[in-house]
A and B are shown apart, each in its own frame.
Chain A
Amino acid sequence: MEKSLNWREFIITSSIKASGYSAIVFVLLIFFFLLREGLPTLGEVEASSLLNIRWYPIENYFGILPLITGSLIITLGAALIAVPFGIGTAVYISEIAPRWMREILKPLVELLGGLPSVVLGFLGILVVSPYLRVLLDLPTGLTAFTGSLLLGGIAVPTVVSVAEDALDSVPRAYREGAWALGATKWQTIWRVTLPAARSGVLTAVMLGVGRAIGETMTVMMVTGNAPVLATRLGSIFSPVRTMTATIAAEMGEVANGSTHYHVLFFIGMVLFLISLVVNIIASSVVFRAKKRAERILS
């Protein structure tokens, strides 16, 4: 009996250890399959035409530049919305709100994080874009601006929760020290608490940007999907198309193994590398991302 117990322990322990490594295996597998299907692009499309400004796959124009600028302009717009609102809300929840208010706000923000992006896209089509079209007197409401607005909403919960954890982990003694020296609560927030939580707030911004650049359904539904190079500031009020939306919209219609198919995987590879860089930077900042999980539980 003793022996069978040992065997069971051994098998269970081994499988637990194997599961432990699964995350590394999956990241490598994802990268491998993106490379496998995406790299043939470089043999089929010349680098110069890949960096062209024309995306028109039917006639073999595979310039991904307009898609990249589309993603960038929308992400920038989203960040301009999500950063002030996200950090402001985090400051409110962590420093200003009374306890009962905090208990209401935290689950609500979490709820926004759980709203399916397709629902936001749906409301974007039916409510937000017609409203913006009339308000701003545009030919169409399906623009980069609409996308940024909704994407900002999608990035906000990430920014709030990570930034709030960072503010929360600033030792109380810091604040008490500042108050004892005669600073007001407001001065303490700006000159002591926020600077002390700086790295965590930076992580929050990075993760929010990462969330925005990878978002697919909402941008595909509300940005009008025109692969036009964004050159002016005013481009934000015209339709654009992002890298994610291009993959989602076109992958269903291409023949497996065609050039178009390979280029779409190539774009996926670019997105994967962007998210890798963003996340490595975000996690190398001193603040530990695992605090986020702690918040969900406590």
Chain B
Amino acid sequence: MMTKFLSRNRHTVQSLGFSFITLIAIMTVLPIVGTIIFIIFKGGSAVSWEFISGFPYDGMRAGGILPAIIGTLYLTIGTAVFSVPLGIAAAVYLSEYAKDTRLTRLIRLAIINLAGIPSVVYGLFGLGLFVLFLQFGTSILAASLTLSIMTLPVIISTAEESLRAVPQAFRTVSISLGATRWQTIRRIVLKEALPGILTGVILGLERAAGETAPILFTGAAFFLPRLPQSPFDATMALPYHLFVISTQVPEMPIQIQYGTALVLLVFVLTMNLIATVIRSRARARRQW
């Protein structure tokens, strides 16, 4: 009698508990979906061809946001140029060469710490090293380098993970066929790990594209009447532009603000989508 009561009771507790946890999960996810839909809904009417391809005028209260779009594109490419080769090389080192020594553990600790440093501290560092000490000035170059270092830990850790996922037998066979170690890495290991590496790279660059704090004092410009001409020019950028027009410009039309937020969101979500597609296609095709 007692056990029967208890047993019914604990099943009630379970279904109540499950409902509660499900509710929490829903409350976590709904705002994400809601935010995205809300911005698409509000910004959709502001986005037109003129908005994407035009220059801002009238104190940025009218016209388009082309310089900010191009600027974010430049910064993302600049970040990729520095962080992708370095990050992949570091991952190859950790997965293919490094033994489990104290130095290797120190490298791993450094990577974890790089991942945790606040983005505004990266901005300070970029200002101190690239802008002032190396005299690059407030420029695309300085901002890209700053963003690269911030992106590095994401690329290293995801690339290392996908290199490690390549079965050891692949390496053994390749070496036994007479290939050198580097030939094995380049033609076999890197090739097999490519989709995973690409996913990590895109997710890392996605973060860099959306960041504002690291470029505040290293490369972002409030307003420029023309597109940047060289890596030593400052540039407008979408996230910084959104910050400026939503806090610094009085009487800013709300339409343009939502439109800018939408373009930034589309930029970032597209990268996220590409990464997701690459990952799931690779997963479906993988035969080992």
Contact = CB atoms under 8 A, between A and B. Distances in A.
B118 A275 contact: yes
Contacts of B110: 23-24, 26-27
A111 B98 contact: no
Given A107-B276, A186-B18, A221 B243 contact: yes
Contacts of A131: none
Contact of A89 (B28, B33, B114): B28
B147 interface: no
Given A26-B152, A213-B118, A290-B161, A20 B94 contact: yes
A160 B32 CA distance: 14
Contact of B243 (A23, A121, A251): A121
A98 to B, nearest CB: 11
Contact of A283 (B31, B112, B243, B279): B112
B281 interface: no
Q: For chain B, give the interface size range.
A: 35 or more
Q: For chain A, give the interface size range.
A: 35 or more
Interface string B89-130: 110111001100000001111111111111111111101110
Given A122-B261, A248-B123, A276 B113 contact: yes
Contact of B121 (A21, A34, A160): A34
Contact of B200 (A20, A111, A121, A297): A297
Interface in B264-278: 264-265, 268-269, 271-272, 276
A278 interface: yes
A110 B162 CA distance: 18
A89 B210 contact: no
Nearest to A103: B280
B53 interface: no
A114 B119 contact: no
A112 B133 CA distance: 36
Contact of A5 (B128, B180, B207): B180
Contacts of B98: 20
A97 B24 CA distance: 12
Contacts of B71: none
Interface of B: 10-11, 13-14, 17-18, 21-22, 24-25, 27-29, 31-33, 35-36, 38-39, 86, 89-90, 92-94, 97-98, 106-125, 127-129, 132-133, 149, 152-153, 156-158, 160-162, 165, 180-182, 196, 199-200, 203, 206-207, 209-213, 216-217, 239-240, 242-243, 246-247, 254, 257, 261, 264-265, 268-269, 271-272, 276, 279, 283
Given A5-B180, A23-B111, A156-B28, 16 more contacts: A16-B97, A19-B89, A27-B114, A85-B24, A117-B210, A117-B211, A121-B243, A122-B261, A210-B116, A214-B117, A217-B213, A248-B120, A251-B217, A275-B113, A289-B112, A297-B279
20 contacts: A19-B86, A26-B149, A30-B149, A85-B28, A93-B25, A96-B21, A97-B25, A114-B207, A119-B264, A123-B261, A210-B116, A247-B123, A248-B120, A251-B217, A271-B118, A271-B121, A275-B118, A276-B116, A278-B116, A279-B112
